[in-house]
Amino acid sequence: MKRRKTRQISLGGVKIGGNAPVVVQTMTTTNPRDVRRSVEQILRVEKAGAEIVRVAVPDMKAAGALKEIKKKINIPLVADIHYDYRLALMALAQGVDGIRINPGNIGKKERVESIVKAARELSIPIRIGVNAGSLEEDILLKYNCRPTAEALVESALRYVKLFNEMGFEDIKLSLKSSDVMTTVQAYRMISKEVDYPLHLGVTEAGTTLIGSIKSAVAMGILLSEGIGDTIRVSLTADPVEEVRAAYEILKALGLRKRGLNLVSCPSCGRAEIDVIPLTEKVEEGLRDIVTPITVAVMGCVVNGPGEAKEADIGIAGGKGVGLLFKKGKKAAKIKESEMAESLIKEVLQSAMGKGI
Amino acid sequence: MKRRKTRQISLGGVKIGGNAPVVVQTMTTTNPRDVRRSVEQILRVEKAGAEIVRVAVPDMKAAGALKEIKKKINIPLVADIHYDYRLALMALAQGVDGIRINPGNIGKKERVESIVKAARELSIPIRIGVNAGSLEEDILLKYNCRPTAEALVESALRYVKLFNEMGFEDIKLSLKSSDVMTTVQAYRMISKEVDYPLHLGVTEAGTTLIGSIKSAVAMGILLSEGIGDTIRVSLTADPVEEVRAAYEILKALGLRKRGLNLVSCPSCGRAEIDVIPLTEKVEEGLRDIVTPITVAVMGCVVNGPGEAKEADIGIAGGKGVGLLFKKGKKAAKIKESEMAESLIKEVLQSAMGKGI
């Protein structure tokens, strides 16, 4: 997979674009004015692997709490700004690492310019974050009131031009639609126009499963075409789920490694052990490991020994027993009742050896 | 999205390949000898939208039960055969609509030939189903014991050649690996070699969420490149989940329409209603509708009205109330406590009007 060449920006020390790995980010569901809950949530997403976190800034009170939040967290903080440019200025004064503005609702040119000036002085990058649900009226009208890919691109390029006229290049772009193929099309088009790093996302994608599937389809297509430098999976769910889904997508594409790579059979009429509850237990028990490790849970002899051998650690079911494989070699015979516990123990020991 | 041209086969009346829509299939977790449980599960996957169902056939007793199962179900039945060619012959005698054989374990040429002869007489298509966990030993050895994409393709083509020598063209192919990018690579390669319809799948993909993400990445990439005529999402879960995930993938790609297209915001610090439980209730309440309908559940005014207007029916949250939109027009103001119920009722009424 050849990645498209983009300029690199640095957001609070995290590199995005260029030859940097695809960065995983998320957004809190909290209001920053509730510092305690916001920090608690951010520390949880950090643990899950979030590399950047964004917070909504609905008003001045929220903006004024950002310094306090920033002190207590360990990853770069981005302020999400809509409507009022003064919220951006306040967020910058509070020391945030990045700003996201929405061309669709930030208003007059002079107001945008004042944000760009302040960001330039502080060397803080800005994401131009276009969203199909909130395009500028004149652009919507031009495209028959439909938020098409072309409309999203036009909105983004208008702001890029304005930023460039001011000599500001510390830019990241996103063009999100809740429609997967519109999103894909918009990113394909913008990637031919500019070389700024791209933040991928399907907006308002839905609950955990549906939203993860939509995001995986869009990001799978785009990243396989080399497009995309950082991703956010938008889910109507706890943001920890967004981070987990993001890593699963990147792991599937071979772009990042982290924690459990689970290989488990769908348990057909041939299975000789009860695969579904066993796999669920193993997944639950290994959810928080960070060291990359492939674990296979297989119900029968058709693909069982083959997959179990390919994995770092695997179990292949037989009649009431399982064969445990470690690094491709049979290591033990285990009773069905002890499989979950044994497998989890083996994996944790192995991961420990590698440093978590 | 331009789909690759493939020959068309007909499996129990369901067309696969050519210009047919991408077909959704699944596999039971039951043993066919338990006719009652198998039929019960198949009727459930039919209701969820499965268009073809496959069952494992581990032994003669299972093979002998297929006629009984077939009588009681409404979608084509495929027998999944490993190791013993006589199971295929018995399944064919029982009236199945399709056979899947695994080149990696079906054995001697003469045995394969006897299956092909029997299928030809009955005009029953055969899937050559290659799986990375069970490749032929000589092929594995040739590729340094690694089930690479090239190895998968070589295994499939060996059987294609054998079938062609017998004048048998009623073929479907699959080349599944538990590694997403190996799967993608194998299908890309085989699609350049032959024009038989392709059955897509990532094997042993994992539990519902992880497995759906892996499948969405692989199928998203391949289908966006025009590759793939039927899909099965393999999950360590109830097969109804496989069918639901398959439709979500196809809906995201714009290749099929079915039931709820949910657009829901991730509920940031700006949300003025409690979006997560509301969305979960709405999703649960509308899970079984078949008529395609787009429903938006949005927490605030940033993208809320925009998305709610684009949807067939949408709700955009304000302070303790929501604006209900129908076909882009404001229709009512609803109290937060009544939102889920009202939205579900509106959608059901609208779907009813269209015929479910």
Per-position DSSP letters for B128-150, written without gaps between them: EEEEGGG--HHHHHHTTT---HH
> Taking residues B31-47, what's their average pLDDT?
98
Residue B326: strand pairing partners: B313, B329
pLDDT at B313: 94
Closest CA to A337 of A286, A287, A274, A280: A274
Average pLDDT over residues A187-198: 98
How far off is chain B from A166, nearest CA to CA, in Å? 27
Whether pLDDT at A313 is above 80: yes
Over range B135-160, report the average pLDDT: 94
Mean of all residue pLDDT scores within chain B: 94
> Are the beta carbons of B266 and A31 separated by less than 8 Å?
no
Query: B199 has which bridge partners?
Result: B230
Task: Reply yes or no on whether the pLDDT at B356 is more than 50.
Answer: no
A chain contacts of residue B218, beta-carbon cutoff 8 Å: 220, 252
Helices of type H across chain A: 35-48, 60-63, 66-71, 85-93, 109-122, 137-142, 149-165, 180-193, 208-224, 239-252, 275-285, 304-310, 339-354
Q: Which of B38, B131, B276 sits opposite A303 (nearest CB)?
A: B131
Lowest mean pLDDT among B87-91, B148-152, B286-290: B286-290
Residue B302 at interface with chain A, using a CB cutoff of 8 Å: yes
> Which residues in chain A touch residue B31, judged by CB atoms under 8 angstroms apart?
269-270
pLDDT beyond 90 at A308: no
At B69, list the tokens: 């199962």
pLDDT digits (tens, 9 = 90+) for B203-256: 999 999 999 999 999 999 999 999 999 999 999 999 999 999 999 999 999 999
Average pLDDT (A150-178) is 97
Check CB contact of B212 with chain A, cutoff 8 Å. yes
What local confidence, expressed as pLDDT, does residue B354 receive? 65
Q: Which of B264, B266, B283 has the CB atom closest to A27's CB atom?
A: B266
Count, residues in chain A: 356
Least confident of A65-74, B51-60, B83-92, B285-294: B285-294
A224-231: average pLDDT: 98
- What is the model's pTM? 0.96
Q: What is the mean pLDDT of residues A135-159?
A: 94
Contact status, residue B189 vs residue B151, Cβ threshold 8 Å? no
User: Any bridge partners for residue A264, and if so which?
Assistant: A297, B205
Least confident of A187-196, A319-328, B6-15: A319-328
Q: Where is average pLDDT lowest: A114-118, B241-245, B293-297? A: B293-297
The predicted structure's pLDDT at residue B153: 98
At residue A355, the pLDDT reads 52
What is the residue type of A144? N
Q: Is B271 on the interface with A (CB under 8 A)?
A: yes
Least confident span in A67-71, A238-242, A307-311, B262-266: A307-311
pLDDT-derived band of residue A318, with 50, 70 and 90 as boundaries?
confident
Question: Looking at residues B133-158, what average pLDDT do you find?
Answer: 93
The pLDDT value recorded for residue A305 is 84
Q: Which of these, B12, B71, B82, B11, lies nearest to B36 by C-alpha position?
A: B71
Average pLDDT over residues A241-252: 98
**Given pLDDT bands bounded at 50, 70 and 90, which one contains residue A107?**
confident
Identify the CA nearest to A125 among candidates A92, A99, A86: A99
Tokens 């990018």, residue?
Answer: B181
Average pLDDT over residues B147-161: 96
Chain A window 17-76: which residues touch B at a Cβ cutoff of 8 Å?
27-32, 38, 55-58, 62
Nearest to A195 by CA among A218, A220, A169, A176: A169
pLDDT of residue B355: 52
| Res B83 pLDDT > 80 | yes
Residue A356's pLDDT band, with cuts at 50, 70 and 90, is very low
CA nearest A217: which of B222, B205, B290? Answer: B222
Q: How confident is the model at residue A247 (pLDDT cuts 50, 70, 90)?
A: very high
Residue A238 clears pLDDT 60, i.e. is over it: yes
Overall average pLDDT of the B127-154 stretch: 94
Amino acid at A35: V
* Least confident interval from B24-33, B68-77, B152-161, B343-352: B343-352
pLDDT at A117 over 60: yes
Give chain B positions within 8 Å (CB) of A56.
Answer: 268-270
Structure-token match 């945030």, residue found: A96
Does B266 contact A131 at a Cβ distance shorter than 8 Å? no
